[in-house]
Amino acid sequence: MGIIQEKVTPEFAKWAGYCEKDKKSQIGTYDEPEDKVKNAGRGNYTVFAALYKEKTGIDVQAQPWCDSFFDTVLIHLFGVDKARALLGGFSAYTPTSASYYKKMGRYHDSPMEGDQIFFRNSKRIYHTGYVYKVTPKTVYTIEGNTSSGQQIVNEGGCVAYKQYPLGKTGIDGYGRPDYTLVETYEEGFLQAADGKRWWYQFKDGSYASHGWRWLTEKTGGTSGWYLFDDAGYMLTGRQTAPDGREYYLCQRPGIDEGKCMVTDEKGILKIAEWDREKERYVL
């Protein structure tokens, strides 16, 4: 599972059933909203517009909110700067939001989970929502400022699950945020597909390769020097490092596997640490 399934879709889904309010005093905050259905009204007052103004300075309170709903969820999850990069810019006006994706080359005819769906009437793009599932024949959405019915509604009063046949008249296209900009990974050693070798992944998705790395083995919490080949695999046994010197790396499976080893005065292998000042391994 990636960040879309783990964070984005659940955040949109938690708002299903939320109703707009008649008065600003009734909305609460994004983190502490008033009950979803309490004081439901037709005033277009929402917690989304409140957070939108707080973070972007743009005031869209008491205005149609399908687009600000989408933007605000991403702002809440990833912050203003990253949300702006995902969306191409901020706008509560759906034609402008669609144009941002087009400028980034991220506007598509076919949907994927995580997309922003855009709807068109006879005049312009006029409604939007979040795509949370796609099957061969159907696109499933979570939309703000709509109704619970399955028709396209751009001025309803709630957040609702919807679904439409793929290719339905009225669907203009799909904006696709580049979620790789906010994708995070669990850092640590991961076993290779062969079930024998290991590689090390960092939080940004990159991995250790071609040389030495001082790393912590999280199972036991111990640290040591590890040598990786050009493909990113951790090396064991006798190996020649990029500096041309030969080293012995622990071959014993477990928390010490791969760690650099040296011999003490009795010739017994020990896990080594690197003395940065003397530029040598020490016990």
Task: Give the 3-state secondary structure of the chain.
Answer: CCHHHHHHHHHHHCCCCCECECCHHHCECCCCECCCCCCECCCCECHHHHHHHHHHCCCCCCCCCHHHHHHHHHHHHHCHHHHHHHHCCCCCCHHHHHHHHHHHCCEECCCCCCCEEEEECCCCEEEEEEEEEECCCEEEEEEEEECCCCCCCCCCCEEEEEEEECCCCCEEEEECCCHHHCCCCCCEEEECCCCCCEEEECCCCCECCCEEEEEEECCCCEEEEEEECCCCCECCEEEECCCCCEEEECCCCCCCCCEEEEECCCCCEEECEEECCCCEEEC
pLDDT of residue 274: 65
Over residues 95-137, the pLDDT tens digits come to 999 999 999 999 999 999 999 999 999 999 999 999 999 999 9
Mean pLDDT of 196-222: 87
pLDDT of residue 155: 78
pLDDT of residue 94: 97
276 band by pLDDT with thresholds 50, 70 and 90: low
Q: Worst-scoring range by mean pLDDT, 77-91, 159-173, 198-212?
A: 198-212
Higher pLDDT, 195 or 139: 139
pLDDT of residue 144: 96
pLDDT of residue 134: 97
Q: Is the model's pTM score more than 0.85?
A: no
Looking at the predicted structure, is the pLDDT value of residue 275 above 70?
A: no
pLDDT averaged over every residue in the chain: 90
pLDDT of residue 166: 96
Q: Worst-scoring range by mean pLDDT, 11-15, 179-183, 201-205?
A: 201-205
Higher pLDDT, 283 or 77: 77
Residues of the chain with pLDDT > 90: what percent?
62
Q: Worst-scoring range by mean pLDDT, 7-11, 78-82, 152-156, 160-164?
A: 152-156
pLDDT of residue 95: 98
Looking at the predicted structure, is the pLDDT value of residue 223 above 80?
A: yes
pLDDT of residue 237: 93
Looking at the predicted structure, is the pLDDT value of residue 1 above 60?
A: no
pLDDT of residue 10: 96
